[in-house]
Structure formats: structure tokens, C-alpha cells
Structure 1
């Protein structure tokens, strides 16, 4: 089963995954959404960390360390950031972090990633503006991006069929650049939310 959801709050995500396991849906992979395997309902303990690794060997050592401590690595890659673990040994505690500061630090790493992404898009936005890819006419006169001859003189079904056919192409011509400022705004917002969670959890 596949589910598309997005979380900033790791604790809420953990609770949701545990509830899914309790209903018999066990996390198998995380790639543009959650992939679950149907099985027996289970009262699972799932925890999430956020770490990225430059070397595959460091990632393997990281996963091995948790497995030696009674936690199975469920999902995540060396560059995905979010790492999912399931408790496999009843003799160990229910937490993978030593203290609140270590637990909160994952939000700081997440916030830093979002801020870095936002900043990395800023030069692209400036370059696109300088080479006239960004065209503010799209906001004031979107008709210029429709190239069908005589489109605006047509009426009825003839107009609507031509208009609806060309609209996706007009949007790509005139508004594709909007992705970049929107992405920057979203990354800054997610970074702010993550940093707020870090401040709330570090004490």
C-alpha cells in the first residue's frame, strides 16, 4: 500500500507509523511517499533520526550501530536524511537518543537542510531574471502566452476546446519560473518550522 503524506514533526510521524503498524501496515520503504507491506497487526515502536552521509561506509556503520543496539533500520538512504528504525529487542529502551538535546538536534539538521536549499535557489532566481526567463507579463497579461491563431475571437465549443488544449503549454511558457520563488518560500517556511521544533525540544 502507498500513502502520500508530509511531516515536519518527527514525533507525529512516529505515532502515525506506529498506528499503521497496529493496523497491520508495516513500513517497507520511503520514496515520494510511504510504501507499506500488509501483515499481522503489531504494537511497534518506531523512531526517526535525520542524518545524511557523504560516504556509504559511514552510513553502513551508522545502521550497524543501531542494529547492534536492538533497532532495525526500516527505511532511508545515506543521502535521504530521514532514517527510520524499529525496536526489535524488548530489553532495550523505547528511545534511540541519549538525551533531549540529541533528540532535538535532528530538527536542527533538518532546518539547516531546508535553509541551504532555499539559499541555493536564490542565485538561480537572479540568473533567470537577468536573462529574461522571468517574465512578469505573465501576471498582468497572460493572453500573450497563447499562440493559437484567432483564439480570442473564437466562441463556444471552438473557443473552449482550443483554450483548454493550449492552457498547459501557456502555463509552461509563462509561469514555469514561478516554481523557484515558491520553492524558496516553502524551504524557508519548512526551515523555520523545523528550527521552532528544535527550540521547543532542546530543553
Structure 2
């Protein structure tokens, strides 16, 4: 294996490891939006209880209608936020791929060596072993490169979908905050 081929597989290995670190990054992000959602929902229910201390009997003022509409929009955006948060954290297609177990890789390498040794055209045992060793290294490297490319591609698609869902979660959290400020302002002015 040449140095250029070794560097080439190193690039794919680094990308493979990067996607697994990215997976861990999104796994750790769940606590922040969840905490904000709990605070937002609690605050909105507090505003609702403060605005209607005896329950919703009738709508007397235009602000009552405005408050109920804002509360309904808030509830809808919370549901949408939870939906995108669920996609980000769990997702429906979140099945990461990994390299085979090291024992399987070792077994594959041994099988390649036996195959190349058995079908070598060299006459001396030393040359047969050297030829089988070189061909095994080349084929094993190519197979490993295919594993890296395939698994990284799958993991990258999953992480990109999670990144999109996280972006939408943050957007809807901001909308929730704005609607919560509206609810708090109406409740405070009553």
C-alpha cells in the first residue's frame, strides 16, 4: 500500500469518526430544548390560570378572544416543537451504521490471505507468502474503504436530517417565546 492510499483511507476514517461525534453532539442537545419547553408550558399555564382564575366562563372583552387565540397558537407551536424535537432526538430513520466487529475483520483478513496464498502463481513459499500478504493488504484496505464510505454516507444523511430538525426546533422555540411574551403581557395588563 502506498502512502497516498494510506492517506486516502485516513480521510474516510476521519469522516467516519466525525459523523459519530456529530451523533453524540445531537444526542446531548435534547436537554436544552426540553427544559425550555417545560418552562414555557408551565409559564403559559400560569398565565392562563392568572387570566382566568375561576375558569373560562364567558368571553367579555376583545382581549379575552385575543388571549385565547394567542394561547391556542402557543399550544399549536408547542406541539410542532415537540414533533421536531422528537425527530431530532429519536427520528424515524435513525439507524446508524458501524464497522463490523474487529473479530469479523480479522477473520476476513485471514480468509483473504488464505485465498491469495492458495491461488498464487509464485513457486517459492517465501514469494507466495509475500505476494499473498501484499494482495491481502490491498484488498483489505479497499474493503475497509468501502465500509467507511458506506457507513459514513448513511450516518451523514441521518445527522443532516437531525440538524434540520434541530434548526426547526430552535425556530419554533423562538416562536413559543414570542407567544409566551404576548400571553404574559395580556395577562399582566388585565
Q: Shorter-chain TM-score: what band?
A: 0.3 to 0.5
Q: Answer 1 or 2: which has greater helix percent.
A: 2
Rg larger for: 2
Q: Answer 1 or 2: which has greater strand percent.
A: 1
Per the normalisation by structure 2, the TM-score is 0.33
Q: Which has the higher contact order (CA 8 A, sep 6+)?
A: 2
Per the normalisation by structure 1, the TM-score is 0.31
